[in-house]
Amino acid sequence: MLSTNIIKLAVVTLTMITISIPAHAHRAWIKPSKTVLSGEQNYVTFDAAVSNTLFIPEHVAFRMSYLSATSPDGKELAFENVGKGKYRNTFDLNLTQSGTYRVGSASSGLRASWKDAEGKRKRWPGRGGPAKGETFETAVPKQANDLKVTYSSYRSETFVTLGQPSDEILAPSNKGLELVPVTHPNDLFATEKATFKFYIDGEPAAKTKIEITRGSMRYRNAPETINVETNAQGEFSVTWPHAGMYFLEASYEDDKAEAPATKRTGSYSATFEVLPL
């Protein structure tokens, strides 16, 4: 009995650890009910979850504390009617200004791995994130066997528009791997070509690997994932085969990191709605 409880506890802890780093191993998505809205004001409701079958919540919820929403004027917008579910969290946004809104999560920082004196693999931060008060300087040895330091960035987001689409909140922060739209992300139509750029720390991110998958995966046998790569200007295009909610995942890697890092990685994902013509 006692051992069963210990196992249960261990499972629960493990699950919590997984959520805290949604970018890894699972797809972390934020799905709006609609992305193109009209009216003097309107509401959009969102589901946020971490699960591989798009967009079925079946693994863990996307932690609300990681998320924030930005209005077209750049101000933060509060979530309304937050509901915490086992597999997904839900929330509403009241859109009162005309323009494009962003909802998402972004983070970046140093990661390190090395081998200690006994040859045991060590990582920082641990899977649950850095311990309180712990910093790269205090937690990672200056010299160690097989020491690898990576500067990594992570971003997951989605966009919704009330009225006329706007560009203000689409401007890159020049930090991490970011999508820079050429085609507006709330103006996507089936059979049409859309073009976007990827930037890494404000520079074009050439050879970013991109996977684009339509939702409703549960109701077909093949994932039908579209694979593309950015060109030297960091640009890529996609022709949407069907209408639907799509999930875009991108990853980038180079060795142009600032010391103490030797490697730079970027991970990005976004949910896009493609409407029928």
Partner 1 sequence: MFKIMCKLLAIASVIFTTSVHAQSLLQLEVTIPRLQVAEYHKPYIAVWLEDQKRNTTQIAVWYDVEMENGKGEEWLADLRQWWRRGGRKLEMPIDGITGATKGPGSHKITIDLASLLKNQRSGDYKIRVEASREVGGRELLQIPITLPIKSKDLPITVTGKRELDQISLTIKE
Residues that bind partner 1 (CB under 8 A): 34, 36-40, 42, 163-165, 187, 189, 275-277
Shorter beta-carbon distance to partner 1: residue 144 or 275: 275
Minimum distance between the CB of residue 185 and partner 1, rounded to whole angstroms?
14
Nearest Cα residue to 101 out of 71, 68, 78, 66 = 71
Name every residue whose Cβ is closer than 8 Å to that of residue 50 and which is 6 or more positions away in sequence. Answer: 18, 19, 22, 26, 27, 28, 29, 59, 60, 61, 62
Minimum distance between the CB of residue 41 and partner 1, rounded to whole angstroms?
9
Minimum distance between the CB of residue 158 and partner 1, rounded to whole angstroms?
17
**Largest distance between two CA atoms of the chain:** 65
Shorter beta-carbon distance to partner 1: residue 64 or 190: 190
Minimum distance between the CB of residue 182 and partner 1, rounded to whole angstroms?
17
Minimum distance between the CB of residue 150 and partner 1, rounded to whole angstroms?
42
Give the whole-angstrom CA distance, residue 176 versus residue 152. 7
Shorter beta-carbon distance to partner 1: residue 128 or 276: 276
Shorter beta-carbon distance to partner 1: residue 39 or 83: 39
C-beta separation of 30 from 62 below 8 A: yes
C-beta separation of 169 from 102 below 8 A: yes
Shorter beta-carbon distance to partner 1: residue 4 or 38: 38
Q: What are phi and psi of 99, to 5 degrees?
A: 130, -170
Name every residue whose Cβ is closer than 8 Å to that of residue 150 and which is 6 or more positions away in sequence. Answer: 110, 111, 112, 257, 261, 262, 263, 264, 265
